[in-house]
Structure 1
Amino acid sequence: MKLTRFSFAACWAMLVTASAFSTTAHSADLLERIKEAKVMTIATEARYAPFEYVENNKIVGYDVDLMNHILAKSLPGVKVDQLDLPFQGILPGLDAKKFDFVITAVTVNKQRVDHFAFTAPIAESTVALLKRAKDNSITSPDDLSGKVVGTQTGSGQLQVLQAFDQKLKASGKPGIKEIKQYVAFDEAYVDLANGRLDGVAQSLSNLGPLIKARPGVFATLPEMLGPKTYFGWVGRKDADSASLVKLFQDGIIEANKDGTMKALQQKWFGFTMNVPATPMPAPAL
């Protein structure tokens, strides 16, 4: 078939338009693709009350309410596909791009912040020691020498507990007899109540509601096991995810400044926390 000058020009224009469309589609970042698809896939661990847990076949909690508050303002009309996963698979899954973002309580530490993009703090995650209320053999963290203490596999609490064990040994004490690791904290609480553990290393913000729900069963030590730390939400540390991380970061800081965060903390924890309304501080852990 012979191409006329007109048909050649028309074909060329079509190719240029298609190329421009392809380039635009390819250059759209994660946030733009979410807006276009009107759906965002997030990961959470729904066995971490009161941050997130399942009630009447629905994931509820502090993180869920804070997320919905932010999305109602920033991404109206976008549906959230929320995956409930074991904590141990959440950060590897984010790395593998199995979902867009992590909205669950993740303790910031140096290793994680080097690899992932954390939002501003959503709550304090400083680690305390949960014990049985009537166990008078543990009155300070030093009493954990020779004891069996549980915590969650792969968690920031595990890192704090292991560091505290090394501190005990460095001071000439025997150290913790055994650190038992669990997939979820609920299993550790059961073993503690039944006497199979002497203590559980967990973030203080989680323990207030637990103690209130089971009066006379559990208590905490007044002294913390590690340095002050914070929970944040997590995205991938790349240019593609940068605008989505910023959207959540800006929303968290605004919710902190306007009182929404404290109102949600009062609702879910029964107390409020003074967390900085800034990007995540450099971790001490």
Structure 2
Amino acid sequence: MHIISTLCGRRGSAVAAIATVALSLAACTSGPANGDTTADGIGLVKSGKLTVCTKLPYKPFEFQDNGKVVGFDVDLMDLFAKDLKVERETVDIDFQQIWSGAAFAARKCDLGASGITITQARQKTVAFSDPYFDSTQALIVPSGSAATDLAALKGKKVGVITDTTGQEYAKKYAGEKGYTVVVFEDHALMMNAVKAGNVDAVIDDNGVARDFTRSNPDTKVVTEFDTGEQYGVAAKKDDPNATKLLGRLNAVIGKAKSDGTYGRIYEKWMAAKWTSK
């Protein structure tokens, strides 16, 4: 009980303690497992709302524009909320709280949509929807840089965002290529660092990287790495209600892909045509 009461008042930071944090947060909550239900019997943490956890900013997937949260993921969640006949509400939260499952254990949200790559490690802590977006890693440098790959960054600094697949990729090759990995807490801090010359390059998901360089011509994407990643929407693991929620979401996104809605959302935010595979 002492461990639980301590964790209720503060968030642990060590990755090794993630499972403990999630379980402790669950113990901190009280009340029914789910709030009011939709007509189809799916429980939600707030009556009349689909509550979605995300980490801002991560343009073009989720970011604020004139005080309003918008983006690719947001449009998909709005589509799902409309199908459930509820409103979408976004909660900005640490990324680790989403993929660790802690946010769901604490009933802070129904789903997590934040450009989350599906990995074996994350599948141990959360349940995922079907993949809804294909992604890979990209290398971004200042526009005047001569670097075209990781080998050209020997002795240089490469920025990454904490707890991301970009960080994993950069760490994997750091010793071989001879660069130093610099970890940032969020996307905005990392991108400002490469613009200011505080790091020589950054590694980030290609969709985000290409959106950033379109708006910042003093930076450029010089290469992409074939990591074969896919994004999924996260929910509470081993939970029957979450399973129903994700099943319904899969059906909504599947329909959107077949009727052209997904393609229109993709083109809106990615400035490119979506091609069904």
**1:15 alignment partner in structure 2:** none
Structure 1 residue 70: Cα displacement: 2.5
Structure 1 residue 147: Cα displacement: 1.6
**1:84 alignment partner in structure 2:** 92
**1:272 alignment partner in structure 2:** 273
Q: Measured at CA, do residues 103 and 26 of structure 1 come closer, stay the same or move farther in structure 2, by a change above 3 Å? A: closer
What is the distance in 2 between the residues matched to 1:67 and 1:191?
Answer: 31
- Aligned residues between the structures: 240
**1:13 alignment partner in structure 2:** none
**1:191 alignment partner in structure 2:** 193
**1:234 alignment partner in structure 2:** 234
Q: Measured at CA, do residues 35 and 128 of structure 1 come closer, stay the same or move farther in structure 2, by a change above 3 Å? A: closer
Q: Measured at CA, do residues 96 and 162 of structure 1 come closer, stay the same or move farther in structure 2, by a change above 3 Å? A: farther
Whether 1:159 and 2:168 are equivalent positions in the alignment is: yes
Structure 1 residue 60: Cα displacement: 0.7
**1:248 alignment partner in structure 2:** 249
Structure 1 residue 49: Cα displacement: 0.5
What is the distance in 1 between the residues matched to 2:163 and 2:155?
Answer: 23
Structure 1 residue 244: Cα displacement: 0.5
Identity over aligned pairs, percent: 25
Helix, strand or coil at the partner of 1:180: strand
Structure 1 residue 80: Cα displacement: 2.6
What is the distance in 2 between the residues matched to 1:52 and 1:88?
Answer: 16
Give the TM-score normalised by structure 1: 0.76
Structure 1 residue 273: Cα displacement: 4.5
Task: Choose 1 or 2 for highest CA Rg.
Answer: 1
What is the distance in 1 between the residues matched to 2:97 and 2:219?
Answer: 29
Structure 1 residue 274: Cα displacement: 4.6
**1:62 alignment partner in structure 2:** 72
Give the TM-score normalised by structure 2: 0.78
Instruction: Report which structure shows greater RCO (CA 8 Å, sep ≥6).
Output: 1
Unmatched tracts of structure 1, length 5 or more: 1-24, 277-285
**2:152 alignment partner in structure 1:** 143
Structure 1 residue 36: Cα displacement: 9.3
Q: Measured at CA, do residues 114 and 27 of structure 1 come closer, stay the same or move farther in structure 2, by a change above 3 Å? A: closer
The letter for the 2-side match of 1:159 is E
What is the distance in 1 between the residues matched to 2:246 and 2:214?
Answer: 34
Q: Measured at CA, do residues 165 and 79 of structure 1 come closer, stay the same or move farther in structure 2, by a change above 3 Å? A: same
8 Å contact kept, 2:160–2:184: yes
The letter for the 2-side match of 1:89 is Q
Unmatched tracts of structure 2, length 5 or more: 1-31
